[in-house]
Amino acid sequence: MPTSTSDIIITGFKVYDIRFPTSLDGIGSDAMHQGTNGSHPYLQLLTNKPELVGEGMAFSNGRGSELVVAAIEAFAPRVVGKKFSSLVENMGNTWRYMVSDSQYRWIGPEKGVTHLATAAVINAIWDLWGKVTNRPVWKIVADMTPEEIVRCIDFRYITDAITPEECIELLTKTSVGKEDRVQEALENVAVPAYTTSAGWLAFSGDKMKKVLQETIDQGFKIFKFKVGSDLAADKQRLQAVRDIIGYDNEYQVMIDANQVWSVPEAIEWMKELVQFKPVFIEEPTSPDDVLGHATIRKALKPYGVGVATGEMAANRVIFKQLLQADAIDVCQIDSVRLGGVNECLAVMLMALKFNVPCVPHNGAMGLTELTSHLSTIDYVSISGRKSMLEAADSYRENLAHPCEIRDAHYVTPMDPGYSIGYTPGAIEKYLYPNGSFWTSEIGEKIKQAPKGGDGLLRE
Ligand SMILES: [Mg+2]
């Protein structure tokens, strides 16, 4: 190891409110989120070795970042003054420590804005761990024994679904063939990619067709489209998609409603869309409605359409219930909504036990870089099953470790750490509210954009 770990101490932190003006081009638009600006509150944990900085982040849409930044500023001091070695020697304990501030638990617990802050800090510790030991985060987990992986997990609230002993048994089974899967990771064929590039709700007509054709030409075979604002428009778009890709098994279509429907609406609307043969409907209703998802899944089963959710599932408890209630066909963990790598490991193991594939939720501007580690971890170390991962490619020039897709597969991240971070130019430009973009004429105009819900109340 290049550095002795025993004398590394967290000495301070910096938080940056970085927002990208995605409302300009409709990237990220869906039935629930219009005019949003993809934002990553970004944390640097500083150490007594200036070259070693642990980087973490959360996600939000524009103004939400103000609350997340405040939460990170409240949570990050919990690790300041701590020895790096004591933070990583039992990561399960470190995770429990991060969610144990009793004066903040009332506004969680373990969900929402406080959990986003937990994720930023926990992921920064994993990033630092990678840098200290000169390994990408997926490799840290690949190098662990089943017992060491289990030690990263806080099993409180989930032992009715899975126990540490069961996890060790599952992981021991998966460890057969692990070396071959590591080799596949090194050859960049561990994580197949699918794309939403053509599927944003603001894209229609010729723009949608042009982007779809471009992604087909790049080798993609699986595509996702946003639906849920206007049934006639949904049918028109999906018909246009099927006109291009046909109905044979070479290509797959998935659709995403981003929570706009009530349960009966979801079923009725989907009965109109099953003719386009989507593999699944993602987020058909409220992310908290476990039994609602189960009802929708049961209703759509005869049509061969599955249910996916998880990007806004608050924590491992919601995932536990989704799995126990047979409510999902695809488990979509989010790398910065769950409390960092540790809680993602817990959910991956539950998904494995319930035989549901884990497909992390993704997004551009930095999230993709984390999820390519998580999908690699799931394949190499947890499930041993190849899954797929959404590709998202806007604003990539701003990332310090942009991931790459080659032949519709993720190139496995090899830089030490968790691939978090932005170029100095990106921070200068997109730091909110005083970065050079946000003080430009167009930036100031976006700041004045409507906030949503307009028209619901009389003036
Ligand atoms: Mg989604």
pLDDT of the chain, 459 residues: tens digit per residue: 444 787 999 999 999 999 999 888 766 667 776 678 999 999 999 999 999 999 999 999 899 999 999 999 999 999 999 999 999 999 999 999 999 999 999 999 999 999 999 999 999 999 999 999 999 999 999 999 999 999 999 999 999 999 999 999 999 999 999 999 999 999 999 999 988 877 777 777 788 888 889 989 988 899 999 999 999 999 999 999 999 999 987 899 999 999 999 999 999 999 999 999 999 999 999 999 999 999 999 999 999 999 999 999 999 999 999 999 999 999 999 999 999 999 999 999 999 999 999 999 998 789 999 999 999 999 999 999 999 999 877 788 999 999 999 988 999 999 999 999 999 999 999 999 999 999 999 999 999 888 888 788 887
CA of 441 to the centre of ligand 1 (A): 32
Where would I find the beta strands (DSSP E) of 116-245?
193-195, 222-226
Find where tokens 């190849």 sit.
386
H helix or E strand, kind and range, residue 281? strand 280-282
Looking at the chain, how many residues does it have?
A: 459
CA of 385 to the centre of ligand 1 (A): 22
Please give the positions annotated as active site: 226, 361
CA of 390 to the centre of ligand 1 (A): 10
Instruction: Report residues near ion ligand 1: CB below 5 Å.
Output: 256, 282
β partners of residue 13: 45
Q: pTM of the full predicted structure?
A: 0.95
CA of 199 to the centre of ligand 1 (A): 11
Residue 205's CB is within 10 A of a number of other CB atoms, namely 10
CB 231 within 8 A of CB 425: no
- Which domains does the chain possess? 9-134+424-448 (3.30.390.10), 167-411 (3.20.20.120)
Please, what is the angle between helix 340-353 and helix 367-377, to 10°? 40
H helix or E strand, kind and range, residue 45? strand 38-47
CA of 309 to the centre of ligand 1 (A): 8
Token pair of 327 as six digits: 């409510």
Q: Are strands 330-331 and 389-391 parallel, antiparallel or unpaired?
A: unpaired
Residues 317, 357: Cα–Cα separation, whole Å: 18
Sign of the Cα torsion 84, 87, 91, 96 reads: negative
β partners of residue 422: 399
Cα angle 25, 27, 31 (rounded to 5 degrees) comes to 115
CA of 71 to the centre of ligand 1 (A): 24
Residues 140, 101: Cα–Cα separation, whole Å: 28
CA of 89 to the centre of ligand 1 (A): 35
Question: In sequence order, which residues have a C-beta less than 8 Å from that of residue 274 and are 6 or more positions away?
Answer: 300, 303, 304, 305
